[in-house]
């Protein structure tokens, strides 16, 4: 285990189970739809690439980069799109894929914007949820699992751009960021 990690919250085995469970559910729900899986970079990468391979349907993928964080551990609330999608959303059923839902400010902003762009439907899949931290009116449609109000890293999630390549979700030691 990485020495900066206090404990493992979601193991590799649990991540595989989450992807299989969500993939099956999404496959059922999107059978007659025109699915576009839209990842929010960079945190989504490992979750999204594993999740889409558990979805047994034709689908398209695209990515968006938004920034709301500095190098701290709390969302600034000032959300900015730094890389936009490449395709027209007209006629697509969009499934936004996010690493973690915290205050909800980022996804609230992103889904407001996508609503103005002609998507047929918009839903949210998040690997992790910290429900007690929610400020913005956002409810995810698919959740991998809830995590406590601790800063977590790995499997795409970073602290100051580090730890994304850990194969599990770990709780970061407070001494690293306090």
Using CA of residue 128, residue 135, residue 42, residue 56, what is the dihedral sign?
positive
Determine, following the binding rule CB under 6 A, whether residue 19 of this chain makes contact with ligand IMP.
Answer: no
Q: Is 144 exposed, middle or buried (0-12, 13-18, 19+ CB in 10 A)?
A: buried
Active site amino acids: 102
φ, ψ at 6 (rounded to 5°) = -70, -50
Residue with Cβ nearer Mg ion (43 or 170): 43
Q: Is 39 exposed, middle or buried (0-12, 13-18, 19+ CB in 10 A)?
A: buried
Contact by Cβ (8 Å): 43, 66: no
Beta strands at 60-67 and 35-41: parallel, antiparallel or unpaired: parallel
Number of Cβ atoms within 10 Å of the Cβ of 57? 16
Tell me which of ligand IMP, Mg ion, none is bound by residue 157, counting a contact when its beta carbon lies within the kind-specific cut-off of 5 to 8 angstroms: ligand IMP
Question: From residue 101 to residue 140, what is the string marking binding to ligand IMP with x (rule CB under 6 A)?
Answer: xxxxxx----------------------------------
Residue with Cβ nearer ligand IMP (91 or 135): 135
Determine, following the binding rule CB under 6 A, whether residue 155 of this chain makes contact with ligand IMP.
Answer: no
Stretch that binds Mg ion, among 6-14, 71-79, 94-102, 114-122 (CB under 5 A): 94-102
Determine, following the binding rule CB under 6 A, whether residue 151 of this chain makes contact with ligand IMP.
Answer: yes
Question: Please, which of residues 21-80 interact with ligand IMP by CB under 6 A?
Answer: 43, 68-69, 75
Kindly list the residues in this chain that would bind ligand IMP in the complex (CB under 6 A). 43, 68-69, 75, 98-106, 151-153, 157
Residues at the contact surface with Mg ion, assessed by CB under 5 A: 43, 99
């Amino acid at each position: 285990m990485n020495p900066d990690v206090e404990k493992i919250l979601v193991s590799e085995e649990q991540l595989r189970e989450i992807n299989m469970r969500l993939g099956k559910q999404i496959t059922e729900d999107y059978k007659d739809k025109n699915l576009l899986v839209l990842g929010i970079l960079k945190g989504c990468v490992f979750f999204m690439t594993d999740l889409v391979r558990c979805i047994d349907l034709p689908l398209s993928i695209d990515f968006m980069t938004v920034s709301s964080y500095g190098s701290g551990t709390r969302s600034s609330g000032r959300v900015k799109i730094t890389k936009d999608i490449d395709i027209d959303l007209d006629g697509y059923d969009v499934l936004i894929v996010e690493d973690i839902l915290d205050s909800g400010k980022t996804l609230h902003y992103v889904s407001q914007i996508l609503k103005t762009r002609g998507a047929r439907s918009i839903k949210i899949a998040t690997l992790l949820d910290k429900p007690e931290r929610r400020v913005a009116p956002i409810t995810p449609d698919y959740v991998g699992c809830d995590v406590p109000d601790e800063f977590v890293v790995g499997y795409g999630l970073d602290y100051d751009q580090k730890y994304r390549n850990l194969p599990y979700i770990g709780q970061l030691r407070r001494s690293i960021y306090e």
